[in-house]
């Protein structure tokens, strides 16, 4: 039985895109793996910003460390909202207890996340507020980052930060879409996670006059490599990819491999 027992923190717009950032290390679905995150970043060139595509938590042993690290440098680290963060927020604000009323989050690594915080008592107001106010997208200088692939860019929300409890169906797809491939976005290269079976995307590039500009136009890349047991990152603007292997195999509360 659902029970709304907690109030959501007052919502404000997230910070505007960091317009002066020139280099970005974009990191795929971290899933609670702090050590692997540090190893990956050590392999990557220095950058003005480290940007997570979301799914920073669950499955791995160190969700709290990952969140604390991203929150520790607002000017140099950021993230977009993703479905695992939404599941955690939903568990806290819309359910009475974790064990009895939110099995879906538990089956997808939520128990490991909660354990890393030492239970709900270790999850601070600041952590919940930071998660709840992550933007659905990051866009600047030819780059577009979201958690799930965007298949209808004509409906990009105008608000940089949105209220996750008031998602429209279109906005919800930005954190949950697993079946529709991204469509080419004019003048922007799309980077996303969430779909570890996806890789690179190419399509013929045609201008408004109908002329073929580039028959092998590379327009999007998925950097979730979890099915290969790797954490992946992309350096922008070079688009160079880096990976580091997982240290352990996480399991769900039922003892089975977690569902991606």
Distance between CA atoms of 213 and 187, rounded to whole angstroms? 13
Q: Is residue 251 part of a domain?
A: no
Q: How many domains does the chain have?
A: 1
User: In the predicted model, is pLDDT for residue 147 greater than 60?
Assistant: yes
pLDDT band at 204 (very low <50, low <70, confident <90, very high): low
Mean residue pLDDT of the chain comes to 80
Rounded Cα–Cα distance for residues 122 and 118 (Å)? 5
SS3 228: helix
- Which residue in the block uniquely carries the two structure tokens 């998925």? 222
Instruction: Give the span between the Cα atoms of 62 and 72, in whole angstroms.
Output: 15
Single pTM value for the model:
0.83
DSSP one-letter code for 49? E
Give the pLDDT score at 141.
84
Q: Could you tell me the CATH number of the domain that includes residue 216?
A: 3.60.21.10
DSSP track, 116-130: HTTSGGGS-HHHHHH
pLDDT for 172 equals: 76
Angle at 80 between CA 101 and CA 37, to 5 degrees: 90
pLDDT tens digit sequence for 58-113: 999 999 999 999 999 999 999 999 999 988 988 888 765 544 446 778 888 999 99
* CA angle in degrees (0–180, nearest 5) for 83-117-250: 60
What is the DSSP secondary structure assignment for residue 68, as one 8-state letter?
Answer: H
Give the domain range for residue 116. Answer: 24-245
Q: 18 pLDDT exceeds 60? A: no
Q: How far apart are CA 30 and CA 231, in angstroms?
A: 7
In the numeric block, which tokens belong to residue 150?
A: 């965007």
């Amino acid at each position: 039985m659902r029970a709304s027992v907690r109030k959501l923190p007052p919502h404000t717009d997230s910070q505007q895109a960091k317009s002066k950032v020139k280099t970005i290390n974009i990191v795929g679905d971290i899933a609670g793996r702090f050590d692997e995150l540090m190893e990956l970043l050590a392999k990557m060139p220095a950058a003005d910003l480290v940007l997570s595509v979301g799914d920073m938590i669950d499955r791995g042993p160190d969700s709290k460390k990952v969140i604390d690290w991203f929150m520790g440098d607002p000017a140099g680290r950021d993230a977009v909202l993703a479905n695992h963060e939404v599941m955690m927020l939903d568990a806290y604000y819309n359910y009475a207890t974790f064990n009895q009323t939110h099995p879906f989050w538990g089956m997808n690594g939520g128990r490991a996340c909660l354990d890393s915080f030492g239970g709900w008592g270790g999850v601070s107001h600041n952590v919940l507020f930071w998660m709840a106010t992550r933007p659905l997208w990051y866009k600047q200088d030819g780059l577009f980052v979201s958690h799930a692939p965007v298949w209808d860019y004509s409906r990009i929300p105008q608000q940089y930060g949105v209220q996750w409890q008031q998602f429209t169906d279109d906005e919800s797809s930005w954190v949950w879409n697993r079946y529709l491939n991204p469509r080419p976005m004019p003048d922007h290269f799309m980077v996303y996670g969430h779909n570890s079976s996806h890789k690179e995307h190419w399509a013929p590039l045609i201008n408004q006059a109908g002329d073929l500009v580039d028959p092998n136009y590379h327009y999007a890349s998925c950097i979730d490599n979890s099915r290969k047991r790797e954490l992946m990152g992309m350096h922008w603007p070079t688009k160079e990819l880096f990976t580091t292997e997982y240290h352990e195999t996480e399991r769900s509360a039922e003892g089975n491999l977690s569902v991606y």
